[in-house]
Amino acid sequence: MYEVTQYKIGLLGEHIGESRSPRLHELEGKAQRLTLSYELFDFAELGLSQADLQKILKSLQDKAYAGMNITHPFKQAVISYLDELSDEARSIGAVNTVVFRQDKKIGFNTDYSGFIQAFREVLPEVNLAKVLLLGAGGAGSSVAQALLSLGVKELHIYDSDAEKALALVDRLDSVQTTARVTAAHENEISKEDFSGLVNASPVGMKSNPGMPVDKSMLHEHLWLVDIIYFPLDTDLLTYAQSLGCKTMNGARMAVYQAADAFQLFTGNAADKNRMLGFF
């Protein structure tokens, strides 16, 4: 355990008012008899922008916070303001956890480990031959790397910003050579026969409702993951379940990434089953 016994933690992002992170961390801290508080810093509500990230991080570090979780839309932008990166964060090019340690701001990625743990539990024997990933932002970058680590043979990446998808393909090709990774174009998606689909885009969130793909491309033999956890039952998941698809919602990834971040913040291993109960 670290020498610190009182922990101040928070979340930086936009439209995060209903995040479950405070509950997860504070209840786990209480269960471990730690004095731990978790605050939300919603840039949209505070009238802040990406340009304020560096200033806010420095202010929180000066106020003796243990660290910060980082969410949409800052998981990639925050890297410019950090002193060090973990190997995973550097490889993925995205950070969701920043630890303030010895006057340094150190970036980690627990989305990667959280997705892998959740996927292995919920969808252990699905076909990984050909997978479509929606979203090439911070979360999408983490999930893409995780899918390749899980053994996906062919990964097609679609983002409404085509340049983002191409950049992620280039990054992945620079760190692996076993899988085929390509950028998918909108007019090609419905023509392909995928074994699995993962939504790591913001489409489906409470603040951005809707379906990220046309219903016509879903079928009963497709497995589907939506990493959104508010709401848990997105339109995409609900429709896929009505077809009989094997599905995974965002709950376990959210909890497992939080548990890994909790250990980085406090030095204490979190009880993941207990945290699932808190969720």
Pick from 202, 100, 204, 196: which is nearest to 160 by CA? 202
Count CA atoms within 13 Å of residue 156 on its CB side: 17
From the candidates 8, 63, 75, 104, which is the catalytic residue?
75
> Is 75 noted as a catalytic residue in this protein?
yes
Q: Contact at 8 Å (CB) between 75 and 138? A: yes
Supply angle C-alpha 197, 198, 199, rounded to 5. Answer: 125
What is the Cα 163 distance to its own chain's centre?
20
Sign of CA pseudo-dihedral 175, 212, 74, 123: negative
Query: Is it true that the peptide bond before 212 is cis, omega within 30 degrees of 0?
Result: no
Q: Which residues are catalytic?
A: 75
